Amino acid sequence: MYAANLTWQQVQAIPKSTPVILPIAAVEQHGHHLPVYTDSFLLGEVVRRAEGVLGAEALFAPLQWLGNSHHHTDYPGTVSAPPRLYLDLLAALAENYLQHGFQRIYFLNGHGGNIVPAKQVVFELRQQYRQRQDLLLLFSSYWDLAAPAGYEQNYMGHACEWETSMMMVIAPGLVQGDVTQLADVPNGYAFDPAYRGWITKERTPTGHIGSPRFASPEKGEALLGQFSQGVVDFVRRMAAWDGHSWL
C-alpha cells in the first residue's frame, strides 16, 4: 500500500504490526552521464516493484528525496540537508508513524551518504523508546538485500556499472553520452583500516565511482529484479517477527 493514496481513516484501520517502509534517497550529482535525481529514480523503481508484489502486506511512505549529500555539494544541482538536520528529519519521519501506533519501522535507503545518519537515528530511537518491547526499528540500503554476481563490480558505486545499468531501464533518455568511453574510478578509501573524512572531488575527477562503461539495460533489469525481490523478502521477514524476541 502507498500511504499517499490512502485517507487518514484507511491508514488508521491498518493493523499496527504492518511493516512501515520509509524510503529515503537523495538529489545529487551523478557524474557526467546521469541526472541528479538518480538515487531517487532508482529507489522509487525498487519500491514500485516491491509494492506491486506486497500490496496490503506493507505500508510505503512517500519517498523522501532530500538526503545527506554534503560531500557532493561542490557539484551544482546537488541538494543536501546538513547532517544534524538530517538526523532530526529522519527521526521525525519515524516518530510520526510511532505516534500513530505502528510498531515495525524500516528505513529503506537509496543513497550512500544517508547510511551513517540513518543508522544513528535507528539507534537513538531505540534508546528513546527503551521500555517498549514491541518495536522493530530497522535500516538498510536496498543493495544490501541481494548479492548480485556476474558483474565487473561486486559493490554499489556511484553512477557506476550498477546504477547506470538500472537507469538505462528506467529512463534511458536521461543517460548522457557514450558511457563506454568513461574511465574506471576505483572504489575504496585511503588509509584503511581507518576511516578518512572525504569529499567527492578528492576521489573522482568526474563525479562517478566505479565502472559505468560496462553498463547495459540487460544488467539493469536483472539488478532491479534482484533488489526489489530482496525488499519483498525482507519485509515479509519483518512481518513474520513474533513481536517481542531479539531474532
pLDDT band at 14 (very low <50, low <70, confident <90, very high): very high
Cell numbers at 68, concatenated: 545527506
CA dist 155 and 101 (Å) reads 37
Contact 113, 147 (CB under 8 A): no
Determine the average pLDDT of the residues in 94-116: 98
- Other Cβ atoms less than 10 A from the Cβ of 244: the count is 9
Please report, for the chain, the start and end positions of each structural domain, with discontinuous segments joined by +.
3-150+223-240
Are 193 and 107 spatial neighbours (Cβ–Cβ below 8 Å)? no
pTM of the full predicted structure? 0.96
Q: Give the confidence band of 247 by pLDDT, cuts at 50, 70, 90.
A: confident
Question: Could you check whether the bond before residue 193 is cis, i.e. omega within 30 degrees of 0?
Answer: yes
pLDDT of 201 over the 90 cut: yes
| Domain 3-150+223-240 belongs in CATH node 3.30.530.20 | no
200 has pLDDT over 90 = yes
| Mean model confidence pLDDT for the chain | 97
- 74-86 pLDDT, tens digit per residue, is 999 999 999 999 9
